[in-house]
Amino acid sequence: MTYATLGMAGLLFSFQFVFSKWYQLRTDNSLSAALWMTVFDGAWLSAIFFAANGFSLHITAFSARYAIYYSFFIIVCRVSALFALRYGKVSLMTLFMLAGGLVLPVVYGVATLGETLNIQKGLALGLIFFSFFPGLVYKKESVKKEEQKQGNKRRCLFLYFIVFLSNGMVSVITKAHSINVHAVPEKDFLIFAAFLRLVVGLLLIGMFTMREKPALALSFKHSQTEQNDRSKGFLYLFLIVGGYTLCNGFGNYFSMVTAKVMDSSFQFPILSASVVVLTALISWAIYKEKPSTGDTLGILLNLGGIALMII
């Protein structure tokens, strides 16, 4: 049952990138797009889990504090990821995001929870970790020249680092909350965290709109109807984020369930590696994004790491 919940989490996290890219293709990858995605996601997630929880909510001071941390790093990660897409590839941003979700929880588990990391697990972790970097080395020359021409390479790497750090902290907070005796059930935690993101997103949009209205004007792409009818455009994006939320929300739920009974040094490497592989395959099938040489090498290193972890 533990491996089943871990597998479901990996599959759902992989499909969330399909909806995330769909949303990005329909917007301008701006601060507005990031904040509205936070609002839409918070509305969907709080409504879905509130209904699934029997329209009840129980929260403790401990869980409320961790929900604030959790929501903060999710917002930072989402905004940084959308801005990173201005300067770099979606695949590289995804790899750094998952690298953070892999490395930081393992460090946390070993450093603070007394979890062990033997030679075999260490080698597997090394293979999985280094699989995130071939895509940086084997880049097309045209992409390199374009980044250098725009002077965005350093900015892009900085945003990748923020994505790495913030998503890693989301995983650490998830683990720390799940194993604490004062923690509320996963559904209650996710409802409260989603409601926080909804409120914070609306407050930020309202604050920036009062200061400079054009900065938060959400732009639509690829549809004349959306340009002429903003209400339909918002509804369209709201439904896209709904698909993202279903995948992300239930993926987090299954991940939290697994975290109660599985070591971080085992759970997060396998989860991160499986998402990398599945995302590459799904993107190839749906968006015709054939993996590059670096992507293929990274996938092979991931598979080697997974094999060592499972043996």
Q: What digits encode the pLDDT tens for the residues 203-234? A: 988 887 666 544 444 555 544 444 556 667 77
Q: Cβ neighbours of residue 44 under 8 Å, at least 6 residues apart?
A: 194, 238, 241, 242, 245, 246, 249
Q: Are 195 and 42 in contact (CB under 8 A)?
A: yes
- Dist CA 167 CA 82 (whole Å): 14
Using CA atoms, how far apart are residues 88 and 6, in angstroms rounded to an integer? 30
The Cα–Cα gap between 249 and 191 comes to 10
Q: Is the pLDDT of residue 44 over 80?
A: yes
Q: How confident is the model at residue 194 (pLDDT cuts 50, 70, 90)?
A: very high
pLDDT score recorded for residue 197: 93
Written as six digits, the tokens of 159 are 């945003």
Domain, as residue range, for 129: 2-310
pLDDT category at 1 given cuts 50, 70, 90 is low
262 Rama sector, left if φ>0, alpha if ψ -120 to 50, beta otherwise:
beta
Q: What does the chain come to in residues?
A: 311
Segment 67-78 mean pLDDT: 93
Amino acid 219: pLDDT: 55
Q: Is the pLDDT of residue 309 over 60?
A: yes
Q: Residue 101: is its pLDDT beyond 50? A: yes
Residues 6+ apart with CB under 8 A from 133: 298
Q: Taking 50 as the threshold, does the pLDDT of residue 141 lie above it?
A: no
Backbone dihedral angles phi then psi of residue 231, each to the nearest 5 degrees: -65, -40
3-state helix, strand, coil in the chain (%, to 5): 80, 0, 20
- How many CB atoms are located within 10 Å of the residue 115 CB? 16
Radius of gyration (Cα) for the chain, nearest Å? 19
Looking at the structure of the chain, the number of domains it has is: 1
pLDDT number for residue 249: 79
Check pLDDT > 80 for residue 289.
Answer: no
Output the average pLDDT for the chain.
Answer: 80
pLDDT bin (cut points 50, 70, 90) of residue 305 is confident
Residue 213 DSSP symbol: G
- The rounded distance, in Å, linking the Cα atoms of 146 and 303 is 32
